[in-house]
Amino acid sequence: MEGMPHSAEDLLARRTPFQEALAAWYRREARVLPWRTAPSLYKTVVSEFMLQQTQVKTVLPYFARWHQALPDFGALAAAPEAVVLKLWEGLGYYSRARNLRRLAQVLVALPEIPRTTAGWLALPGVGPYTAAAVTSIGFGLPAACVDGNVVRILARLTADHREFRDSATAAKAFAPLAQQLVPARGAGDHNQAMMELGATVCVRQNPLCDRCPVFRFCAAGRAGKPEAYPRLATRPIEKQTVVRIWCESKGALLLHRAQAGARRLAGQHELPTAEQAGLVPAAIAQGPLLARKKRAITRFQIVESIHRAAPPRRLPPDLIWAPLGELDQLVLSGPHRRWIGEILRRPARD
DNA sequence: AACACGGGGTC
DNA sequence: GACCCAGTGTT
Protein backbone atom coordinates (compact mmCIF):
# COMPACT_ATOMS: atom_id res chain seq x y z
CA MET A 1 0.00 0.00 0.00
CA GLU A 2 3.07 2.20 -0.28
CA GLY A 3 2.52 5.48 -2.06
CA MET A 4 -1.23 5.17 -2.01
CA PRO A 5 -3.15 8.37 -1.36
CA HIS A 6 -4.70 9.03 2.03
CA SER A 7 -8.13 8.62 0.49
CA ALA A 8 -7.38 4.92 -0.02
CA GLU A 9 -7.41 4.51 3.75
CA ASP A 10 -10.72 6.37 3.94
CA LEU A 11 -12.16 3.99 1.40
CA LEU A 12 -10.86 0.91 3.21
CA ALA A 13 -12.26 2.20 6.48
CA ARG A 14 -15.70 2.12 4.83
CA ARG A 15 -15.21 -1.00 2.75
CA THR A 16 -18.28 -2.86 3.99
CA PRO A 17 -20.80 -0.14 3.04
CA PHE A 18 -18.89 0.27 -0.25
CA GLN A 19 -19.20 -3.44 -1.03
CA GLU A 20 -22.89 -3.41 -0.12
CA ALA A 21 -23.71 -0.38 -2.25
CA LEU A 22 -21.89 -1.90 -5.21
CA ALA A 23 -23.52 -5.30 -4.76
CA ALA A 24 -27.03 -3.81 -4.52
CA TRP A 25 -26.43 -1.88 -7.73
CA TYR A 26 -25.13 -4.97 -9.51
CA ARG A 27 -28.12 -7.08 -8.49
CA ARG A 28 -30.30 -4.37 -10.01
CA GLU A 29 -28.34 -3.39 -13.11
CA ALA A 30 -26.23 -6.35 -14.25
CA ARG A 31 -26.47 -6.79 -18.00
CA VAL A 32 -27.88 -10.05 -19.25
CA LEU A 33 -24.95 -11.76 -20.98
CA PRO A 34 -24.76 -15.24 -22.48
CA TRP A 35 -21.99 -16.36 -20.13
CA ARG A 36 -24.03 -15.23 -17.12
CA THR A 37 -27.21 -17.17 -17.89
CA ALA A 38 -26.74 -20.84 -17.04
CA PRO A 39 -23.07 -20.21 -16.26
CA SER A 40 -20.42 -22.91 -16.45
CA LEU A 41 -16.68 -23.00 -15.97
CA TYR A 42 -16.25 -23.42 -19.73
CA LYS A 43 -18.38 -20.37 -20.54
CA THR A 44 -16.51 -18.36 -17.95
CA VAL A 45 -13.13 -19.32 -19.36
CA VAL A 46 -14.09 -18.74 -23.00
CA SER A 47 -15.71 -15.39 -22.28
CA GLU A 48 -12.76 -14.22 -20.20
CA PHE A 49 -10.30 -15.09 -22.97
CA MET A 50 -12.41 -13.27 -25.52
CA LEU A 51 -12.77 -10.29 -23.22
CA GLN A 52 -9.02 -9.81 -22.91
CA GLN A 53 -8.56 -6.43 -24.58
CA THR A 54 -11.90 -6.69 -26.33
CA GLN A 55 -15.21 -5.08 -25.43
CA VAL A 56 -18.36 -6.99 -24.54
CA LYS A 57 -20.30 -5.77 -27.55
CA THR A 58 -17.63 -7.06 -29.93
CA VAL A 59 -17.40 -10.41 -28.19
CA LEU A 60 -21.11 -11.26 -28.17
CA PRO A 61 -21.51 -12.68 -31.73
CA TYR A 62 -18.18 -14.52 -31.51
CA PHE A 63 -19.11 -16.11 -28.21
CA ALA A 64 -22.42 -17.41 -29.56
CA ARG A 65 -20.83 -18.92 -32.65
CA TRP A 66 -17.98 -20.41 -30.66
CA HIS A 67 -20.16 -22.00 -28.04
CA GLN A 68 -22.30 -23.59 -30.70
CA ALA A 69 -19.31 -25.06 -32.56
CA LEU A 70 -17.22 -26.02 -29.52
CA PRO A 71 -19.57 -26.57 -26.58
CA ASP A 72 -17.08 -27.83 -24.01
CA PHE A 73 -13.39 -28.26 -23.14
CA GLY A 74 -13.31 -31.69 -24.78
CA ALA A 75 -14.57 -30.40 -28.12
CA LEU A 76 -12.14 -27.49 -28.01
CA ALA A 77 -9.19 -29.70 -27.10
CA ALA A 78 -9.95 -32.02 -30.02
CA ALA A 79 -10.56 -29.29 -32.61
CA PRO A 80 -7.87 -28.60 -35.24
CA GLU A 81 -6.13 -25.28 -34.73
CA ALA A 82 -7.38 -24.04 -38.11
CA VAL A 83 -10.98 -24.53 -36.98
CA VAL A 84 -10.30 -22.63 -33.79
CA LEU A 85 -8.60 -19.77 -35.64
CA LYS A 86 -11.46 -19.64 -38.12
CA LEU A 87 -13.93 -19.13 -35.28
CA TRP A 88 -11.67 -16.40 -33.90
CA GLU A 89 -11.19 -14.68 -37.26
CA GLY A 90 -11.69 -10.93 -36.86
CA LEU A 91 -11.36 -10.82 -33.06
CA GLY A 92 -7.65 -10.09 -33.11
CA TYR A 93 -4.91 -11.11 -30.68
CA TYR A 94 -4.96 -14.59 -32.20
CA SER A 95 -2.56 -16.00 -29.62
CA ARG A 96 -5.57 -15.90 -27.29
CA ALA A 97 -7.27 -18.50 -29.47
CA ARG A 98 -4.22 -20.74 -29.63
CA ASN A 99 -3.69 -20.39 -25.88
CA LEU A 100 -7.33 -21.17 -25.18
CA ARG A 101 -7.07 -24.35 -27.23
CA ARG A 102 -3.84 -25.32 -25.47
CA LEU A 103 -5.49 -24.61 -22.13
CA ALA A 104 -8.34 -26.97 -23.02
CA GLN A 105 -5.83 -29.66 -23.96
CA VAL A 106 -3.99 -29.23 -20.65
CA LEU A 107 -7.21 -29.27 -18.61
CA VAL A 108 -8.48 -32.39 -20.36
CA ALA A 109 -5.19 -34.18 -19.69
CA LEU A 110 -5.04 -33.12 -16.03
CA PRO A 111 -6.35 -35.55 -13.36
CA GLU A 112 -8.46 -32.71 -12.00
CA ILE A 113 -9.12 -29.07 -12.75
CA PRO A 114 -7.06 -26.71 -10.56
CA ARG A 115 -9.06 -25.04 -7.81
CA THR A 116 -6.66 -22.33 -6.73
CA THR A 117 -5.80 -18.97 -8.25
CA ALA A 118 -2.11 -19.89 -8.33
CA GLY A 119 -2.95 -23.16 -10.05
CA TRP A 120 -4.79 -21.31 -12.82
CA LEU A 121 -2.03 -18.74 -13.13
CA ALA A 122 0.29 -21.53 -14.24
CA LEU A 123 -1.93 -22.47 -17.19
CA PRO A 124 -1.30 -21.26 -20.75
CA GLY A 125 -2.86 -17.91 -21.63
CA VAL A 126 -3.86 -17.28 -18.02
CA GLY A 127 -2.36 -14.18 -16.43
CA PRO A 128 -3.22 -12.44 -13.16
CA TYR A 129 -6.46 -11.02 -14.47
CA THR A 130 -7.86 -14.24 -15.93
CA ALA A 131 -6.73 -16.37 -12.97
CA ALA A 132 -8.64 -14.04 -10.63
CA ALA A 133 -11.68 -13.88 -12.90
CA VAL A 134 -12.01 -17.63 -13.40
CA THR A 135 -11.42 -18.62 -9.79
CA SER A 136 -13.60 -15.89 -8.29
CA ILE A 137 -16.50 -16.39 -10.70
CA GLY A 138 -16.11 -20.14 -11.03
CA PHE A 139 -15.13 -21.15 -7.49
CA GLY A 140 -15.91 -18.12 -5.34
CA LEU A 141 -12.27 -17.59 -4.37
CA PRO A 142 -11.51 -14.07 -3.05
CA ALA A 143 -9.09 -12.95 -5.78
CA ALA A 144 -9.27 -9.42 -7.18
CA CYS A 145 -9.60 -8.76 -10.91
CA VAL A 146 -7.60 -5.70 -11.88
CA ASP A 147 -8.42 -4.65 -15.42
CA GLY A 148 -8.63 -1.24 -17.04
CA ASN A 149 -12.06 -0.66 -15.54
CA VAL A 150 -10.93 -1.41 -12.01
CA VAL A 151 -7.86 0.80 -12.37
CA ARG A 152 -10.05 3.68 -13.50
CA ILE A 153 -12.55 3.23 -10.69
CA LEU A 154 -9.90 2.95 -7.98
CA ALA A 155 -7.92 5.91 -9.32
CA ARG A 156 -11.09 8.00 -9.18
CA LEU A 157 -12.32 6.73 -5.82
CA THR A 158 -8.98 7.72 -4.30
CA ALA A 159 -8.21 10.69 -6.60
CA ASP A 160 -4.80 9.15 -7.15
CA HIS A 161 -2.69 11.80 -8.84
CA ARG A 162 0.27 9.53 -9.67
CA GLU A 163 1.16 9.24 -13.33
CA PHE A 164 1.65 5.66 -14.51
CA ARG A 165 3.81 4.86 -17.49
CA ASP A 166 1.29 2.35 -18.82
CA SER A 167 -1.80 0.43 -17.84
CA ALA A 168 0.15 -2.63 -16.68
CA THR A 169 2.09 -0.51 -14.19
CA ALA A 170 -1.14 1.06 -12.98
CA ALA A 171 -2.76 -2.35 -12.54
CA LYS A 172 0.14 -3.50 -10.42
CA ALA A 173 -0.07 -0.37 -8.28
CA PHE A 174 -3.78 -0.80 -7.61
CA ALA A 175 -3.72 -4.55 -7.02
CA PRO A 176 -3.30 -4.32 -3.22
CA LEU A 177 -6.22 -1.92 -2.83
CA ALA A 178 -8.37 -3.97 -5.19
CA GLN A 179 -7.57 -7.09 -3.19
CA GLN A 180 -8.58 -5.50 0.11
CA LEU A 181 -11.92 -4.47 -1.33
CA VAL A 182 -12.88 -8.02 -2.30
CA PRO A 183 -15.45 -9.46 0.11
CA ALA A 184 -14.88 -12.89 1.64
CA ARG A 185 -18.13 -14.08 0.10
CA GLY A 186 -19.43 -13.12 -3.33
CA ALA A 187 -16.04 -12.31 -4.84
CA GLY A 188 -17.16 -13.26 -8.34
CA ASP A 189 -20.09 -10.87 -8.31
CA HIS A 190 -17.96 -8.18 -6.69
CA ASN A 191 -15.38 -8.43 -9.47
CA GLN A 192 -18.01 -8.43 -12.17
CA ALA A 193 -19.76 -5.49 -10.49
CA MET A 194 -16.55 -3.45 -10.48
CA MET A 195 -15.94 -4.12 -14.17
CA GLU A 196 -19.59 -3.56 -15.05
CA LEU A 197 -19.52 -0.23 -13.24
CA GLY A 198 -16.43 0.77 -15.19
CA ALA A 199 -17.93 -0.32 -18.49
CA THR A 200 -21.31 1.35 -18.05
CA VAL A 201 -21.10 4.19 -15.48
CA CYS A 202 -17.52 5.07 -14.54
CA VAL A 203 -16.55 5.29 -18.21
CA ARG A 204 -13.45 7.07 -19.40
CA GLN A 205 -15.13 10.13 -20.86
CA ASN A 206 -18.31 11.71 -19.53
CA PRO A 207 -18.78 9.35 -16.58
CA LEU A 208 -22.37 9.13 -15.34
CA CYS A 209 -21.67 10.17 -11.75
CA ASP A 210 -25.34 10.93 -11.09
CA ARG A 211 -26.05 7.23 -11.58
CA CYS A 212 -23.08 5.94 -9.62
CA PRO A 213 -23.93 3.74 -6.64
CA VAL A 214 -20.63 4.56 -4.93
CA PHE A 215 -20.41 8.28 -5.64
CA ARG A 216 -20.37 9.04 -1.93
CA PHE A 217 -17.10 7.11 -1.64
CA CYS A 218 -15.47 8.90 -4.59
CA ALA A 219 -12.82 11.55 -3.93
CA ALA A 220 -12.51 12.53 -7.60
CA GLY A 221 -16.28 12.74 -7.99
CA ARG A 222 -16.53 15.03 -4.97
CA ALA A 223 -13.79 17.24 -6.40
CA GLY A 224 -15.76 17.41 -9.63
CA LYS A 225 -13.08 16.05 -11.95
CA PRO A 226 -13.32 12.30 -12.29
CA GLU A 227 -12.12 12.42 -15.90
CA ALA A 228 -8.69 13.55 -14.73
CA TYR A 229 -8.05 9.98 -13.48
CA PRO A 230 -6.28 7.73 -13.99
CA ARG A 231 -3.21 9.58 -15.22
CA LEU A 232 -1.53 7.41 -17.84
CA ALA A 233 1.45 8.50 -19.90
CA THR A 234 0.83 8.40 -23.62
CA ARG A 235 3.31 7.06 -26.09
CA PRO A 236 3.79 8.66 -29.48
CA ILE A 237 2.04 7.09 -32.44
CA GLU A 238 4.32 5.70 -35.15
CA LYS A 239 3.30 5.93 -38.76
CA GLN A 240 4.15 3.26 -41.31
CA THR A 241 3.36 2.57 -44.92
CA VAL A 242 3.04 -0.87 -46.46
CA VAL A 243 2.85 -1.70 -50.16
CA ARG A 244 0.91 -4.87 -51.00
CA ILE A 245 0.35 -6.66 -54.26
CA TRP A 246 -2.80 -7.94 -55.90
CA CYS A 247 -1.88 -10.86 -58.15
CA GLU A 248 -4.81 -12.62 -59.70
CA SER A 249 -4.34 -15.38 -62.22
CA LYS A 250 -6.43 -18.28 -63.46
CA GLY A 251 -9.10 -17.77 -60.82
CA ALA A 252 -6.63 -17.71 -57.94
CA LEU A 253 -5.27 -14.96 -55.74
CA LEU A 254 -1.72 -14.80 -54.40
CA LEU A 255 -1.67 -14.71 -50.60
CA HIS A 256 0.97 -14.76 -47.90
CA ARG A 257 0.59 -17.29 -45.13
CA ALA A 258 2.25 -16.42 -41.82
CA GLN A 259 4.13 -19.43 -40.50
CA ALA A 260 2.70 -21.31 -37.55
CA GLY A 261 5.39 -19.96 -35.25
CA ALA A 262 5.20 -16.38 -36.51
CA ARG A 263 4.93 -13.68 -33.92
CA ARG A 264 1.85 -12.16 -35.46
CA LEU A 265 -1.03 -13.60 -37.47
CA ALA A 266 0.41 -17.12 -37.18
CA GLY A 267 -1.29 -19.42 -39.65
CA GLN A 268 -3.29 -16.62 -41.20
CA HIS A 269 -3.35 -15.22 -44.70
CA GLU A 270 -3.00 -11.68 -45.98
CA LEU A 271 -2.27 -10.08 -49.31
CA PRO A 272 1.52 -10.29 -49.75
CA THR A 273 3.65 -7.24 -49.14
CA ALA A 274 5.99 -6.30 -51.94
CA GLU A 275 8.91 -7.55 -49.85
CA GLN A 276 7.26 -10.90 -49.18
CA ALA A 277 6.85 -11.30 -52.93
CA GLY A 278 10.51 -10.45 -53.48
CA LEU A 279 9.60 -7.20 -55.23
CA VAL A 280 10.69 -3.61 -54.78
CA PRO A 281 7.99 -1.59 -52.99
CA ALA A 282 8.79 1.64 -54.81
CA ALA A 283 8.41 -0.10 -58.15
CA ILE A 284 5.14 -1.80 -57.19
CA ALA A 285 3.79 1.52 -55.94
CA GLN A 286 4.05 2.83 -59.51
CA GLY A 287 1.54 0.21 -60.64
CA PRO A 288 -2.27 0.56 -60.68
CA LEU A 289 -3.65 1.38 -57.24
CA LEU A 290 -6.60 -0.81 -56.29
CA ALA A 291 -7.13 0.42 -52.74
CA ARG A 292 -5.58 2.50 -50.01
CA LYS A 293 -6.43 1.42 -46.48
CA LYS A 294 -5.61 2.51 -42.97
CA ARG A 295 -5.32 0.29 -39.94
CA ALA A 296 -4.12 0.85 -36.41
CA ILE A 297 -2.17 -1.80 -34.55
CA THR A 298 -1.21 -0.97 -30.98
CA ARG A 299 0.67 2.31 -31.34
CA PHE A 300 1.28 2.02 -35.07
CA GLN A 301 -0.78 3.74 -37.70
CA ILE A 302 -0.34 1.91 -40.95
CA VAL A 303 -1.33 3.06 -44.40
CA GLU A 304 -1.50 0.11 -46.77
CA SER A 305 -1.77 0.49 -50.52
CA ILE A 306 -2.76 -2.43 -52.72
CA HIS A 307 -1.35 -2.42 -56.24
CA ARG A 308 -1.95 -4.73 -59.12
CA ALA A 309 1.24 -6.57 -60.01
CA ALA A 310 2.36 -9.28 -62.37
CA PRO A 311 2.74 -12.75 -60.85
CA PRO A 312 6.29 -13.53 -59.74
CA ARG A 313 8.16 -16.01 -61.88
CA ARG A 314 8.97 -18.29 -58.98
CA LEU A 315 6.76 -18.60 -55.96
CA PRO A 316 8.57 -17.09 -52.95
CA PRO A 317 8.39 -18.94 -49.61
CA ASP A 318 5.10 -18.71 -47.68
CA LEU A 319 3.20 -17.47 -50.72
CA ILE A 320 0.32 -19.57 -52.01
CA TRP A 321 -2.16 -19.42 -54.86
CA ALA A 322 -5.60 -19.42 -53.26
CA PRO A 323 -8.49 -20.36 -55.54
CA LEU A 324 -11.08 -17.57 -55.32
CA GLY A 325 -13.81 -20.11 -54.61
CA GLU A 326 -11.96 -21.36 -51.55
CA LEU A 327 -11.16 -18.04 -49.89
CA ASP A 328 -13.98 -18.57 -47.38
CA GLN A 329 -12.25 -21.63 -45.99
CA LEU A 330 -8.96 -19.88 -45.35
CA VAL A 331 -8.26 -17.92 -42.22
CA LEU A 332 -7.65 -14.31 -43.17
CA SER A 333 -7.02 -11.34 -40.95
CA GLY A 334 -10.26 -9.41 -40.48
CA PRO A 335 -9.31 -6.33 -42.50
CA HIS A 336 -7.87 -8.33 -45.37
CA ARG A 337 -11.02 -10.43 -45.61
CA ARG A 338 -12.97 -7.20 -45.99
CA TRP A 339 -10.57 -5.56 -48.41
CA ILE A 340 -10.32 -8.59 -50.66
CA GLY A 341 -14.09 -8.94 -50.68
CA GLU A 342 -14.46 -5.28 -51.62
CA ILE A 343 -12.06 -5.55 -54.52
CA LEU A 344 -13.56 -8.81 -55.77
CA ARG A 345 -17.04 -7.33 -55.78
CA ARG A 346 -16.03 -4.47 -58.05
CA PRO A 347 -17.78 -4.64 -61.43
CA ALA A 348 -14.70 -4.46 -63.62
CA ARG A 349 -11.49 -5.63 -62.06
CA ASP A 350 -9.70 -5.83 -65.39
C1' DA B 1 10.24 -3.03 -17.29
C1' DA B 2 9.32 -2.62 -22.09
C1' DC B 3 7.29 -4.29 -25.99
C1' DA B 4 4.30 -6.71 -29.47
C1' DC B 5 -0.06 -8.14 -30.53
C1' DG B 6 -5.43 -6.86 -34.08
C1' DG B 7 -9.49 -5.10 -34.24
C1' DG B 8 -13.37 -2.31 -33.01
C1' DG B 9 -15.57 1.39 -30.16
C1' DT B 10 -15.96 6.16 -28.89
C1' DC B 11 -15.89 11.02 -28.57
C1' DG C 1 -7.46 11.25 -35.14
C1' DA C 2 -6.33 9.91 -30.62
C1' DC C 3 -7.18 7.01 -27.09
C1' DC C 4 -9.27 3.02 -24.89
C1' DC C 5 -10.74 -1.86 -24.19
C1' DA C 6 -12.91 -7.99 -18.89
C1' DG C 7 -4.24 -8.74 -20.77
C1' DT C 8 -0.66 -12.20 -21.82
C1' DG C 9 3.81 -13.79 -23.39
C1' DT C 10 8.41 -12.73 -24.52
C1' DT C 11 12.66 -10.43 -24.07
Mean confidence (pLDDT) of chain A: 92
Among A70-74, A105-109, A266-270, the least confident range: A266-270
| Positions in chain B where some atom is under 7 Å from a protein CB | 1-11
Nearest nucleotide (C1') to alpha carbon of A54: C5
- Å between CA of A249 and C1' of C7: 42
Whether residue A83 is found in the same domain as residue A227:
yes
Are A111 and A33 part of one and the same domain?
Answer: yes
Check if the beta carbon of residue A202 is closer than 8 Å to that of residue A152.
yes
Helix-, strand-, coil-residue percentages of chain A, each rounded to 5: 50, 15, 40
In a domain, A317, yes or no: yes
Same structural domain for residues A76 and A191? yes
Torsion-angle region of A89 (φ positive above 0: left; ψ -120 to 50: alpha; else: beta): beta
The domain that holds A299 is classified in CATH as 3.90.79.10
Q: Look at residue A1 and tell me if it is in a domain.
A: no
Does residue A46 lie within any of the structural domains? Answer: yes
Footprint of strand B on the protein (CB under 7 A): A 53-55, 57-58, 90-95, 165-166, 168-169, 172, 203, 205-206, 235, 263-266, 295-299, 333-336
Torsions phi, psi of A315, nearest 5?
A: -75, 115
Residue ending a domain, among A232, A250, A279, is A232
Across A151-156, average pLDDT: 95
Domain-embedded: residue A350: no
Same domain, A287 and A212: no
The nucleotide whose C1' lies nearest the CA of A129 is C7
Could you list the residue range(s) of the whole structural domain that residue A56 is in?
Answer: 6-232
Is the domain of A196 the same as that of A244?
no
pLDDT tens for residues A103-113? 999 999 999 99
Task: Kindly give, in sequence order, each residue whose CB lies less than 8 Å from that of residue A54, ignoring residues fewer than 6 positions away.
Answer: A91, A92, A93
Q: Which nucleotide is nearest to A333 (CA to C1')?
A: B6
Q: What is the mean pLDDT of residues A319-328?
A: 94
Specify burial of residue A108 (Cβ count, 10 A radius: 0-12, 13-18, 19+).
Answer: middle
Inform me whether the pLDDT recorded for A1 exceeds 80: no
Shared domain for A249 and A223, answered yes or no, is: no
A125: nt with nearest C1' to CA: C8
Q: pLDDT-based confidence at A298, cuts 50/70/90?
A: confident
Beta bridge partner(s), residue A319: A256
A159 with A225, same domain: the answer is yes
For residues A242 and A217, membership in a common domain is answered with: no
Residue A257 lies in a domain: yes
Q: Which residues touch strand C (CB under 7 A)?
A: A 33, 47-48, 51-56, 93, 95, 99, 124-131, 133, 147-149, 152, 167-168, 192, 195-196, 198-199, 204, 232, 234, 237, 294, 296, 301
Structurally, chain A folds into a number of domains equal to 2
Q: Does A182 share its domain with A306?
A: no
pLDDT at position A349 is 58
**Final residue of a structural domain among A232, A247, A270:** A232
Q: Which pLDDT band holds residue A3 (cuts at 50, 70, 90)?
A: low
Q: Is residue A226 located within the same domain as residue A252?
A: no
- For range A328-347, the mean pLDDT: 89
Same domain, A211 and A134: yes
Q: Assess whether A323 and A250 both reside in one domain.
A: yes
Mean predicted confidence (pLDDT) in A319-336: 92
Spanning CA of A141 to C1' of C1, the rounded length in angstroms is 42
Is A2 considered catalytic here?
no
Of A213, A232, A251, the one marking the end of a domain is: A232
Q: Which nucleotides of C are covered by protein (CB under 7 A)?
A: 1-9
Q: Which nucleotide across the nucleic acid strands is nearest to A270, CA versus C1'?
A: B6
Catalytic option among A48, A196, A270, A304: A48
